[in-house]
Amino acid sequence: MVMSLELDKAYGSFLTNQVPESWGAVGFASLKPLGSWVLDLASRITFMRTWILEGQPSFFPLPVFFFPQGFMTGVLQNHSRKYEIPINAIDFSFEILTKATDEITEGPEDGVICCGMFLEGARWDAERAVVVDPKYGEMYSSMPAIHFIPTLGMVPDPTFYSCPCYKTTLRKGVLSTTGISTNFVLPVLLRTDHHPDFWVLKGVALLLNLND
């Protein structure tokens, strides 16, 4: 049978375990090979289906969202409506949780608990509650669940590291209508016993998706 050019390209991608270009153009941001990409897609669908059928979960794996920036804006909007305060007067403060996600049985009164993030170039020391250097040979480390708390008149602590959070390891995207890269999600303030510039020079960032 005669195949179109698009089908032929997709077939070629299947042979090399790559995501077809036509799929990636309309899919979520990812650098995974085809096998891992399909598993990732299935996990996202499972989460969304469970949310619809069983109600709002107690915590949210942030990588499941196609547009996590919109999810975060929605959290701020809900808080703004709940307490009748201007949305431009609130921003997120952060609490790094010590409990595992399977121990989280109910959601917080305000804000959301998010998990599924990875630190590149550093790791989180749970005992000291600070960012530290990674272990030898460790490129990525799992980040504990974070409570994103909408806070009125939030003023960032200058001693904290404003850690950028990206969708993928590529760390770049297309400028959106807001003037911010579509690959950038938001900065997360992390406690550190070094000057924040120490981690800037190391290029430390939070990632939502690894390459495999």
130 touches 98 (CB < 8 A) = no
Query: Which secondary-structure segment (H or E) carries 55?
Result: none
Q: What is the pLDDT of residue 3?
A: 81
Query: What value does the mean pLDDT of the chain take?
Result: 92
* Torsion angles phi and psi, residue 128, rounded to 5: -95, -15
The mean pLDDT of 28-38, rounded to a whole number, is 94
Q: Nearest-CA neighbor of 162 among 137, 183, 131, 136? A: 131
Q: What is the pLDDT of residue 206?
A: 97
Q: What is the pLDDT of residue 177?
A: 61
Question: Which whole-number Å values give the CA distances from 186 to 94, 164, 170, 173, in the listed order?
Answer: 12, 6, 16, 14
pTM: 0.90
Q: Is the pLDDT of residue 15 over 80?
A: yes
**Residue predicted with more confidence, 197 or 174:** 197
Q: What is the pLDDT of residue 94?
A: 96
Q: What is the pLDDT of residue 182?
A: 84
Q: What is the pLDDT of residue 179?
A: 61
Q: What is the pLDDT of residue 176?
A: 63
The mean pLDDT of 173-187, rounded to a whole number, is 76
Question: Which whole-number Å values give the CA distances from 177 to 69, 84, 90, 114, 190, in the listed order?
Answer: 13, 27, 21, 26, 28
Distance in angstroms (rounded) separating the CA atoms of residues 50 and 94: 26
